[in-house]
Amino acid sequence: MLVFEKNAMTEEIEQLVAKYGNNRSSLLPILQDVQRMHKHIPDFAQQEVARLLGIHPVEVYSVITFYSFLNTQPKGRNIVRLCQTIACDLFGKKSVVKAVERELGITFGETTKDGKFTLEYVNCLGMCDQGPVLLINERVYSKVTPEKAIQILGGVK
């Protein structure tokens, strides 16, 4: 990270701390906001959060690695999450997986070379009556078929 990038990051986190408060209870909201803005939580950001909340960097790292929606390594601009739990599994998850992987040329867990998409599995999204379900960023798509999935991905910027 360059110095000016670090300064910008520090400022950003200081603002978040001012917004949510400088106690440990604010840790998740702050991390969620950093995650939303940067699609990951860089190690410098983790240390800044730790510094401003008065905890150790390893505690921040520990918390991040606990939660599936937080990550420390950069990911694609769009995170495509496919529910892997039973109801979606029974109603065609596998064929959606095949279609999406073929279309994007990557397997689940990977990011496309242009950084546009990251494919991930996710546990139950609470849409079991309408599976298979895709969660793209914060938006839910239900009753997804292989064809529909490709169409949806095509519409994502």
Residues that bind other proteins (CB under 8 A): 3, 6-7, 10, 22-29, 31-32, 43, 46-47, 51-59, 61-63, 65-70, 72, 84-87, 89-90, 122-131, 135, 138-142
Q: Which helix (H) or strand (E) holds 135?
A: strand 134-136
Q: Which is nearer to other proteins, 62 or 107 (CB)?
A: 62
- Are 115 and 104 spatial neighbours (Cβ–Cβ below 8 Å)? no
Q: Which is nearer to other proteins, 42 or 105 (CB)?
A: 42
- Output the smallest distance, CB 127 to other proteins, in A: 6
Q: Which is nearer to other proteins, 62 or 102 (CB)?
A: 62
Strand, coil or helix: 107: coil
- Are 72 and 40 spatial neighbours (Cβ–Cβ below 8 Å)? yes
Task: Determine how β-strand 139-141 pairs with β-strand 78-83.
Answer: unpaired
